[in-house]
A and B are shown apart, each in its own frame.
Chain A
Amino acid sequence: MTLKTTLLGAVALAAIAPAAFAERGADGHVNIIYWQAPSILNPYLSGGTKDLESASMIIEPLGRYDETGALVPFLATEIPTIENGGVSEDLTSITWKLKPDLLWSDGTSVTANDVKFTAEYCMHPEGGCAQAAKFEGVSAVEVIDDLTVKVTFSESKPNPYGPFMGAQAPIIQAAQFADCLGAKAPECTEANFNPIGTGPFRVTEFRPNDVISLEANPNYRDPAKPAFATMTFKGGGDATAAGRAVLETGEFDYAWNLQLAPEVIEQMQAGGKGQTIAAFGSLVERIMVNMTDPSPSLPEGERATAKHPHPFLTDPAVRAALSMSIDRELLVEIGYGQAGRPTCNLVPAPALYASDNTDCLTHDIEGANAMLDEAGWTRGADGIREKDGVRLSVLFQTSTNAVRQDFQALIKQWWDEIGVETELRNVSASVFFGGDPGSPDTFQKFYADLEMYANNFDGTDPEAYLAAQTCDKAPRPETQWQGENITRFCDPTYDAMVAELGRTGELEKRGEIARKLNDMVTKESNVIIPLVDRGRVSAHSNTLGGVVLNTWDSELWNVADWYRTE
């Protein structure tokens, strides 16, 4: 009898075990470290990655991008497309359907009104919404019924997935933010620090620029998730310390974005407490070529504007030679290791938009020299090439950053070998990337011949990113030096194709146009010299399971699925 009871008990236990495993909060506590500390949990008031990603565990959009860049529904029942009737044939409207019975973390129902309110919140003219670009072209957001909302655009929108899609545009609760519209937005400290959301976690305490304490959201739509009952999200310090805390001391379970030298990461991994994961997105480290003359002898207001074309960088042979002489493989090995790969594309991914352009991968000093010889640039007494009294002497600037300074030194050496004299300069990142029109050192003003930095695009559609290289987007005094066409490249054919891309809805055709646009600014003209396709390296402890690194959305996009192994 006792044997039978024991056996029965064992069977019962075995049956219970997996069930217990899938219970909300069963795995206790999890620690995450971001070496940049979150300042605010409202993505609409801050564009910072640290803020977007920490908020992504609390508030969610209707749909997200997964690790392959595909669209997956989160709060919506499905992703609207033309095929399922969610997107109108003329591409001017998109209709989202919410999952039924969704609850906010305070227990109230999520309705289409909240979605409509979110759009109102961000589109308010006085709010200074950081994600306003996501809502560009939206003419109306209408509530059809409690669970259906229709977004209408003022003109046809081939990529209608701007509003409510991805970490940049989550749904906020209308009731909580009702009094926070427009100029009042910053005054709602309580709402900005403790947003009520639908995500797997909710805030128990938020300390700006320091730490967030979270607990499992009792009203999360999947009753078995999240596996962790509580979470500490620590911010601050530096990437080295964050890597150390996960890989060497094991104090933390997850560390974000370890921008470290490859050998440092390798050494840390020898600690044996965790492992690194890498994934690639659209971030490309590149050299921008100034098509205008940045000479200090020109009067202020005309310097580095279309009025004065560059004396020698307008020669396609010079630009091609500069690109050919760079050994991208070596740059990757020295600067990024596992987190980088050489590229010749401005748009390296997703596959549909990535051109098969690989010519630049061959490091060819001889070829570059031959090309310059042919173009009539002859070496002077000091080895520097010149033609008609113009010397190939360039000022090459970038932001202050150990890897970038290594790159500068290497590239200077290669350019020396082809007879181009290079002066290096680095500017503090907060000045370089700041848009202060009064400062001569911003990357937009571009008071140098060449400059290096990295950029990417949100989501998976490169239309806006490619459209940034059109003539009218060039920074100039009339626009207070704001603008995204940093090189001041101007080609009417390019502009016409960008306009065509804006009218084309069919994916295959869009891919074709985007690849062509990419080639026009890279291999055909070398106005943009891509160097490295930069991935993201993060680390998680050996006891943390379920991590899927995603560069298309928030890294913490699937935090609900994380669990403790062992």
Chain B
Amino acid sequence: MLTFTIRRLVLAVPTLLFIALVIFSLLQLAPGDPMAQVPLTVPPEVKERMREALGLGAPVHIQFFKWIVQFFWVEPQVLFDNIFGTSFSEGKLRVLSWQTRSPVMDIVVQRLPQTLWVVGMSYVLGVMIALPIGIYSAYRQYSAFDQIGTFVSMVGFSVPTFFTGVLLIVIFSVNLGWFPSIYDTTHKVTDWESFMFQLRQMIMPVAVLALYNAAQISRFMRASMLDNLNQDYVRTARAKGLGEKTVVLVHVLRNSMIPVVTVIALGVPQVFGGAIITEQVFKVNGLGQLLITSIEANDLPMVQTLTFIFALLIVVFNLIADVLYGILDLRIRYD
């Protein structure tokens, strides 16, 4: 297992470099101009000088090389400095956003908490709702519970979050006035009262996303349980007189979890990717909103860095899913 992990990690390096190159070339080829948002009252000669100041005049391969050095060499040094208080990165140029002229990674770090709180919480909540529903729906297939579960997950699956989000805002913020419609990212939890406020501002975005996540995962769980419930080993277990609880929750569940765990692990990078639409609707201003505003503003260093981080996370979680697979199912051997 260890050699497998190491081999995969080594293989990941060229993969990631290739991904970085692909992202960079795609962004170069895409139409658009970082000066598009500058008002028309600013004359073209001034815009041209602003472009030069952004480093847009440099040849493409130099721009790419600069980004690689800044991202893989300077940024880790900054991280190291922050942790150990050293000063390796002093005076070195970091990846700078074109919009804010500030280091991209600082903004990413600033955005992480709200994204992890809202999107992460909704994922955890979604999983916690989805698993029991999936198990019970499969066990009582075609029962009223299963039908309702199917209906709810179809709704959660097919109704877009920009609809459910706005619907919740209209009901709970505008008409009832219970929850704020705009997320306060500067809010700090210090006591019970501020915790309650945090809870109130998180309820709606978390509910919207949890419904979507739960719908997806509960369908996987149900399908996987159904596959196993009809297997011979289940009949054997029942025949030898084991209780239903043991049969379903120990024998069947353990085997059914294998594909579901993979699905859950592969979904984790999406948490870091943020939820572009839901974040916009509730003004959570996390990583998803950061990505979409950078795309609109043609802030290439920011888009490049963010998409690359997502790619990195996907590669890592793929590996984690594979390793988990081997741990859950002892029959699987990678060596």
Contacts and interface: CB of A to CB of B under 8 A. Distances in A.
Contact of A189 (B45, B52, B101, B289): B101
Interface residues of B, number: 56
Contacts of B44: 435, 444, 479, 482-484
B46 interface: yes
Interface string B98-123: 01111100110011000000000000
Contacts of B173: 244, 248-249, 251
A37 interface: yes
Contacts of B144: none
Interface string A450-487: 00010111100000110000000000000110111000
Most buried by A among B101, B107, B184, B290: B101
Contacts of A210: 110-111, 185, 285
B180 interface: yes
A439 B110 contact: no
Contacts of B289: 209, 236
A237 interface: yes
B41 A39 contact: no
A430 B41 contact: no
A502 to B, nearest CB: 15
B53 A213 contact: no
B48 A439 contact: no
B252 interface: no
Contact of B181 (A125, A130, A241, A429): A241
A428 B33 CA distance: 12
Interface in A426-459: 428-436, 438-439, 441-442, 444, 453, 455-458
Chain A contact residues: helix, strand, loop or mixed: loop
A33 interface: yes
B283 interface: yes
A207 B31 contact: no
A186 interface: yes
Chain B contact residues: helix, strand, loop or mixed: loop
A185 B102 contact: no
A133 interface: yes
Given A128-B50, A234-B182, A237-B283, A40 B100 contact: yes
Contacts of A444: 44
Interface residues of A, number: 72
B182 A132 contact: no
Contacts of B39: 47-49
28 contacts: A39-B100, A45-B101, A47-B39, A48-B39, A129-B46, A130-B50, A131-B42, A131-B46, A132-B46, A132-B49, A186-B53, A192-B100, A207-B185, A209-B293, A213-B186, A234-B182, A234-B184, A234-B283, A236-B285, A237-B280, A244-B174, A249-B177, A251-B180, A430-B36, A434-B34, A436-B31, A444-B44, A457-B41
Interface of B: 31-54, 93, 96-97, 99-103, 106-107, 110-111, 169, 173-174, 177, 180-182, 184-186, 280-281, 283, 285, 289-290, 293, 296-298
